[in-house]
């Protein structure tokens, strides 16, 4: 069995393609390879070149494989559907051009949900009609991904409408396994207040891709108590180095081994690009930690 470890531009603070604080994409590729990774995600579409020749040459230069990419858009908002579709088609085209496999679908942060990130009992919920449209938009983008030869996976994310475990379970029940897999993020599941290991054990046959993220329990407790916004919590260090938070990564490894999982697990240590003094150092520490517990 082969588990490969990659990284993603969000570990260098890249969340939005047009953010002037972003590091140069070439520097991220260089650092990723230097830290010992052999694969990287695309990042927000438009951050890396959409010209296959330009990006392909740079990936080859650093010995990196393109793993997958994320559509982080407002699936919850019918008025944003055109933007969601545009991002999906551009992302799919970029991934397919480089033989990447994983299309990750994330509902972006909603003002209606941001104040209750990590607070499942207080969160506002969609009515039946809103939910049906939300579910169907996710399924439609999954079909776009399949049309491009990709494996679509749903990813729960703090402060969106696909955040808490019951919402994720409901979607998995209503959308066929053949259409939609799971990109499971260990850190967001913990942020939401649920047990990542228990969820993985129940759904290990549907997990096609992993995001490795850890959570500092003290920062999480403060963020929830103070209703801190997601990006502010990132700046406060809620996503700590792997092995320093509350996610049991040796247990994660055991679940993956027991499931016969093969493929990529991608480190995502979301950070503020202006506040993290040395993302390369963090990337190296995360790689070393994973090596130390048998992910090598």
Strand bridging mode 39-40 / 65-66: parallel
Return the structure tokens found at 132. 């049906």
Tell me what percent of the residues of the chain surpass a pLDDT of 70. 99
Coil, helix or strand for 185?
strand
State residue 72's pLDDT score.
98
Indicate the pLDDT class of residue 90, thresholds 50, 70 and 90: very high
Q: State yes or no: pLDDT of 1 exceeds 60.
A: no
Domain count, the chain: 1
29 CB contacts (<8 Å, ≥6 apart)? 40, 58, 59, 61, 62, 64
Residues 233 and 219: beta-carbon distance below 8 Å: yes
Mean of pLDDT values over 229-245: 89
Q: How far is C-alpha 25 from the chain's CA centre? A: 18
Indicate the pLDDT class of residue 148, thresholds 50, 70 and 90: very high
DSSP H helices, 148-185, are: 165-174
Residues 95 and 68: beta-carbon distance below 8 Å: yes
Structure confidence by residue, pLDDT tens digits, 182-225:
999 999 999 999 999 999 999 999 999 999 999 999 999 999 89
Domain that holds residue 277: 3-292
State residue 234's pLDDT score.
83
Q: What is the CATH number of the domain that holds 254?
A: 3.20.20.150
Which letter does DSSP use for residue 6 in this model?
E
Coil, helix or strand for 179?
coil
CA dist 74 and 72 (Å) reads: 7
């Amino acid at each position: 069995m082969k588990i490969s470890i990659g990284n993603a531009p969000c570990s260098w603070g890249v969340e939005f393609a047009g953010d002037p604080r972003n590091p140069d994409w070439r520097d991220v590729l260089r650092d990723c390879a230097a830290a010992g990774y052999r694969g990287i995600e695309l990042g927000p579409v438009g951050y890396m070149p959409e010209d296959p020749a330009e990006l392909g040459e740079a990936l080859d230069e650093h010995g990196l494989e393109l793993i997958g990419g994320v559509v982080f858009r407002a699936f919850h908002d019918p008025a944003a559907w055109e933007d969601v579709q545009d991002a999906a088609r551009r992302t799919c085209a970029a991934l397919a051009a480089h033989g990447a496999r994983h299309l990750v679908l994330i509902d972006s942060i909603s003002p209606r949900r941001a104040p209750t990130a990590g607070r499942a009992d207080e969160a506002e919920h969609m009515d039946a009609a809103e939910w049906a449209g939300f579910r169907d938009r996710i399924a439609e983008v999954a079909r776009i991904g399949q049309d491009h030869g990709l494996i679509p996976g749903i990813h729960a994310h703090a402060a969106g409408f696909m955040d808490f475990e019951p919402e994720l379970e409901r979607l998995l029940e209503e959308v066929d396994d053949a259409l939609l897999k799971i990109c499971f993020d260990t850190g967001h599941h913990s942020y939401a207040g649920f047990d990542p290991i228990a969820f993985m054990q129940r759904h290990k046959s549907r997990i096609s891709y992993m995001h490795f993220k850890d959570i500092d329990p003290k920062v999480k407790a403060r963020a929830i108590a103070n209703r801190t916004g997601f990006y502010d919590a990132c700046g406060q260090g809620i996503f700590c180095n792997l092995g320093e938070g509350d996610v049991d990564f040796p247990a994660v490894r055991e679940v993956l081994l027991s499931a016969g999982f093969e493929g990529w697990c991608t480190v995502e240590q979301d950070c503020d690009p202006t506040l993290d003094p040395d993302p390369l150092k963090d990337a190296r520490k995360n790689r070393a930690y994973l090596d130390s517990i048998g992910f090598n």
